Amino acid sequence: MFNGKSILITGGTGSFGKKFIKTVLDRYSPKKVIVYSRDELKQYEMAAEFNAPAMRYFIGDVRDEGRLTKAMDGVDYVVHAAALKHVPIAEYNPMECIKTNINGAENVINAALACGVEKVVALSTDKAANPINLYGATKLASDKLFVAANNIKGSKKTTFSVVRYGNVVGSRGSVVPFFKKLVEDGAAEIPITDPRMTRFWITLEQGVEFVIKSFERMYGGEIYVPKIPSMRVVDIALALAPNLPMKVIGIRPGEKLHEVMCPSDDSHRTVEFDDHFVIMPTIKFTDSDVDYLSNPLGEHGRAVAEGFEYSSDKNDIWLGVSDMLKLIER
């Protein structure tokens, strides 16, 4: 799919960006792979590892529409992964989160339309479904912007879709490296926010594969949700520190006990496929009439039951302690 194509990844020096770029370079022969991010040190370090002739590095912020437009010149596909995503930090710094996650999304859309990009996939989060925290609220707004962009493009060819998934095993800032460091530093106990807490889990490899497949599946306007397992946070602690006692410290600012990816209020527009769900747009696009019950790959879905909700505490797939250890060791 990406052979001979130019691809830009905002926030490309992050965990997802690195894995996505490695997969693309290993599997395809792209014309250009452009990393767009604002941290020069991370780009410098990444360039030492990813130095293929197709690689390009652009210093820039998604808050800067002009710079984004220059970077997207001649680009075919965009993955929008840049975001401020730490829940408590967003609670304390709301305007900074809004500038990056909402205004930045608008800038990506405007730049993609101006440059005639073919397809844009924006990464979202389970926290955007029924959000109670600032981060989730900004990502919900971002999702809405990308879906609605399909209706404001006029005669332009660009299509926009969203991929929504849960916590990534081992990603920077997640609970797995946090617990690991506590063990390495000789901590006497493991802090647990609430023993009832559950979360969706996905590996970086699974996330990358799902995004690539979404490029192949998309018409434009879909929110794609993979079917992934849930796990109790206490089981993560047991997997990483089986001999340490747990200390309940209470839920952090903006946190939920359980996460939702397909809210019940969206059940009337949720379609279930074999390995994923599609949340259809709330609006009807004036220039297209898409049947989201099937996709360009020939896959066919079915409407879910009224009131259906896909949440981490009501999942059909669960990870145990041994399952988590296998994922961490991969």
Active-site residue numbers? 127
Quote the CA–CA distance of 171 and 210 in Å, as a whole number.
17
Helices (H) and strands (E) counted in the chain, each on its own, are 11, 17
Residue 217 identity: R
Structure tokens at 84: 């401020």
Quote the CA–CA distance of 172 and 175 in Å, as a whole number.
9
Structure tokens at 62: 């998604």
Q: Are 143 and 124 in contact (CB under 8 A)?
A: yes
From start to end of the chain, where are the E strands? 6-10, 32-37, 55-59, 77-80, 119-123, 159-163, 167-168, 190-192, 198-202, 223-226, 230-232, 246-248, 260-262, 270-272, 276-279, 302-303, 310-311
Q: Which is nearest to 24 in space by CA: 48, 7, 39?
A: 7
Burial class (CB in 10 A: 0-12, 13-18, 19+), 86: middle
Residue at token pair 């889990």: 201
- What angle do helix axes 175-184 and 233-240 make, rounded to 10 degrees? 30
171: number of CA atoms within 13 Å, CB side?
A: 22
Residue 87 identity: V
